[in-house]
């Protein structure tokens, strides 16, 4: 007989008990939330999901590269990662240059680059139904 299912009250009770005891924060995405800044810095330094997962596993957090990827894609947007990258670039340039007398707290905040069209380049063609 195909699809024969024997329903027993004991099986139902066990499944219901498992469903009640299920903890959704036990998944890797919930485990990574306390380490948000660490993951953001690692992504800003171009670390792959595999490298991040290996690093976290070395430190005792068992997480898969797929779990790291899902968390990073849901949590960080590209603009945030780029902002940290620019900050790291400026920080590296100021630490490599000779020390100035201006304190770091007085330096102007990082400016976001303005998006301007390149002269001479045409944009994409628009699809039209009437030729």
Q: Maximum Cα–Cα distance for the chain, whole Å? A: 86
pLDDT in tens, the chain (131 residues): 455 556 788 998 999 999 998 876 666 557 899 999 999 999 999 999 999 999 999 999 999 999 999 999 999 999 999 999 999 999 888 887 665 554 454 334 544 444 455 566 777 777 777 76
CA–CA distance, 62 with 98 (Å, rounded to integer) = 43
**Cβ contact 42:55 at 8 Å:** yes
The b/e string for 53-83 (b: 16+ C-beta within 10 A; e otherwise) is bebbeeeeeebeeebbebbbeeebeeeebee
What pLDDT, on the 0 to 100 scale, is given for residue 5?
59
Q: What is the pLDDT of residue 23?
A: 76
Cα 24 → chain centroid: 19
């Amino acid at each position: 007989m195909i699809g024969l299912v024997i329903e027993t009250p004991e099986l139902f009770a066990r499944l219901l008990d498992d469903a009640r005891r299920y903890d959704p924060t036990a998944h890797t995405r919930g485990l990574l939330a306390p380490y948000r800044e660490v993951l953001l810095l690692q992504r800003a330094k171009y670390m792959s999901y595999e490298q991040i997962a290996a690093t976290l596993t070395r430190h005792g957090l068992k997480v898969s590269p797929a779990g790291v990827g899902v968390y990073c894609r849901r949590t960080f947007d590209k603009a945030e990662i780029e902002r940290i990258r620019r900050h790291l670039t400026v920080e590296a340039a100021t630490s490599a240059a000779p020390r100035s007398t201006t304190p770091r707290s007085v330096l102007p905040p990082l400016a976001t680059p303005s998006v301007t069209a390149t002269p001479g380049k045409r944009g994409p063609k628009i699809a039209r139904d009437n030729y």
